[in-house]
Amino acid sequence: MDVDLAPVPPMQAGARRRRRPPASLVAGTLIIATLVGLALWVTLFGRYGVNQASGDVLTGPSAAHWLGTDNIGRDLLTRTFLAGRTSLLVAAGATLLAALLGVPIGLVAGYRGGLVDTALMAFVDTALSVPPVLLALTLVAIFSPAIWTLILGVGLIFTPYFARLVRGPALSVREQDFVAAARIAGVGGGTILRRHVLPNVAAPVVVQLANTAATCILIEASLSYLGLGVQPPQPSWGRMVLEGQRYMLESPLLVIVPCAALVLASIALGLFADGLQKQLNPRR
């Protein structure tokens, strides 16, 4: 008896398509790499210093100054990209600090359970009830405004978010057979957390890192705009908007350029986080 079998399509092309990274991940990575590369290029090979003043004040784009100058005669292009370096430094430092503090709290709470879990999550819930901007303003008001103050304050804001994120997967992983087998074999709790629990909760942590960095950039810009963040003469996108709004009519680029850079960096990190989440999705 003859049976007609439909041809089976080759799997190699489909597999290649599935292995391609999401477009949002590629776009976000390219934009972030471009911003970082331009900041390094301006730092190493720029024609002007970050606070180098010239005789041209509030000028428009020209061959000498591609984006014009501010009210003191400083090159707007140079200050914009160097301000991006400051914002990215604060975002990266605060995000890493939040992860280093929050992930161990979530791991211990989820793995130990019981009274330890209840006590740690009560602390986390209390911290989450405080508005983030209010907490940042309090910390900056107590300490002198500086980059390291911003990193510390913003990092502490997002520590509870990482703890809450990790606790749920840790609760699930501790019930798995391989964790029970490790306990029976006499493996210590710290080793189990490091070798078995942490790798299984790493994917959501990586995605949260990118999302947190995007929010940190906005918070840093907001604090700098209020005068509680990066202090002059060091440039910051929020500080540049504050200084440039007085001369909005004479030179609107003083506000438009740092705002556009701030929005672009936030969108890039959002795209990167979205693409990373798709890439790490086991169903993909």
- Residues contacting residue 127 through CB under 8 Å, at least 6 positions apart: 159, 160
As a whole number of angstroms, the distance between CA 60 and CA 74 comes to: 12
- Within 10 Å of residue 56's Cβ, how many Cβ atoms? 15
Q: Is the pLDDT of residue 8 over 80?
A: no
Gap between the terminal Cα atoms of the chain: 40
Total-model pTM: 0.85
Q: State pLDDT tens for residues 26-84.
A: 999 999 999 999 989 988 888 888 888 887 889 989 988 899 999 899 999 999 999 99
Domains of the chain plus CATH, in order, are: 65-280 (1.10.3720.10)
Distance (Å) of CA 79 to CA 165, 216, 228, 241: 37, 20, 19, 12
Q: State pLDDT tens for residues 227-257.
A: 888 888 888 999 999 999 999 888 999 999 9
- The amino acid occupying position 241 is V
As a whole number of angstroms, the distance between CA 163 and CA 104 comes to: 7
Supply 230's token pair. 């990066």
As a whole number of angstroms, the distance between CA 46 and CA 123 comes to: 48
